[in-house]
Amino acid sequence: TTCSFKRQLVGAGVGAVCSLVILLPSLNFILSLLLLVLTSAITVIATFGINKMMLLLKQIICFYIASFLFTGTMAVLSKLIKMPSLLVRNGVVYYNLSAILLVMLAVATYFIITLICKYLKRNVDATCKLSISQGDVKLQVIALIDSGNKLQEPFSEKWVMLLDSQYEKLFSNIS
């Protein structure tokens, strides 16, 4: 899911405000977990808006994966450069760092995650608009560009395209 730079800034600001839960008195595990899920959902909604429930759930899961990657990378980097230990309170990780060191580590983490993504060859913009027509039947869909599998029909060796079965009846007479 994509969003504008303005929405990203709003989401970052909301996330920063939500991180202030570290200032609350210590909470029990269940309450801390509920607060963590609630603040994560608020941050994701502020960034991407309100979507279908499944999309929102996927966005929250991606948010957690990115958070785990960031926190894990920061933890490794903190051990490498002998930083003070981490403080976790109410589900928020706090690093007792100078602002300059925090920015440097955040930039290093960004580059490490970017390198990992490039290594895995993940392309989030690998879609295009596809128009299919047969006679008077026309269909326009969003297609996923081949990720390198180069699927071919084994006998004719023509390239194949996978289309959701919901469109099967529209094009049942195409050979």
**Residue range 17-26, pLDDT digits in tens:** 888 877 778 8
Q: Which span out of 95-99, 104-108, 134-138 was modeled with the highest average pLDDT?
A: 104-108
- pLDDT average, residue stretch 126-138: 77
pTM over 0.85: no
- pLDDT average, residue stretch 105-122: 76
Task: Say what percent of the chain tops pLDDT 70.
Answer: 75
**Residue range 43-61, pLDDT digits in tens:** 888 888 887 888 888 888 8
What pLDDT sits at residue 111?
86
- pLDDT average, residue stretch 65-81: 77
- What's the rounded Cα separation, in Å, for the pair 137 and 4? 35
Sorting pLDDT into bands at 50, 70 and 90, what band is 83? Answer: low
Nearest to 151 by CA among 160, 142, 138: 160
If you count them, how many residues does the chain have? 175
Nearest to 140 by CA among 122, 123, 163: 163
What pLDDT sits at residue 125?
59
* Token pair for 97: 């760092």
What pLDDT sits at residue 40?
87
DSSP string computed for 114-168: HHHHHHTT--TT-EEEEEEEETTEEEEEEEEPP-S---B-TTT--B-----GGGT
What pLDDT sits at residue 59?
86
